[in-house]
Amino acid sequence: METSSQEFIENLKKHPEGHKLARMIFGVMTETKFLQLYDVLIPVNDGPLDHLLNEAQCKELLLNRFIELDKHSNDKHDQEEESLVYFKYTVKMMYDDYVKKFKHEPNLSGIAWIVKEKHRSNAAHLKMIMSFNGYKLVERKVQECGIFDADTQWEYMYVNKGKEGSIIGSQLTKDMKSVNFSILSLFEFISGANYDKDL
């Protein structure tokens, strides 16, 4: 039986050993699964589970892992004369923004903000790159998938003189406003379409 994100939060709040369970669960939770919980972990700095983990535990269990996982995200960007095609926002960038904005280390809802901002920023960046090259973003709802919330399916469609052309790959994402799309694949699509624009 699947558990909704709201039920997950309520069960943790009510459990007599919620602190221990939170350490166990969030200590192994992937960034994708954590992102699915965003709506029930906020408001930022006043979230329903913020009391279960202190800031040091949040950094150890979640933040440091997420930073480590995408620390090489911009290696290609650095090697390719800083081409915008390869640029990615990272958890470390958003962590720095969080500390600058809120003046303290992130708690659980704060890390949710960091992860959400990373995916939102990457989605906006990718949309800009694709729009620059004649593609538009088409959103479609699909069936519920995974143990939490419904996914959104995104498709990139080439538009030529106002006429829609072929669809370039469907993308599934746990974040309603982000696109799980390989920058390398994006570059291959653009190159394959004979685009010579300097990004």
Residue with tokens 């800031």: 55
pTM (global) more than 0.85: no
Please, are residues 86 and 183 in contact by the beta-carbon 8 Å criterion? yes
Q: How far apart are CA 63 and CA 51, in angstroms?
A: 17
**Mean pLDDT across the stretch 64-71?**
94
**Mean pLDDT across the stretch 124-152?**
59
SS3 173: strand
pLDDT score of 136 more than 60: yes
pLDDT, mean over the chain? 74
16-25, 33-42, 69-78, 96-105, range with the lowest pLDDT: 69-78
Strands 135-144 and 163-173: unpaired
pLDDT band at 93 (very low <50, low <70, confident <90, very high): very high
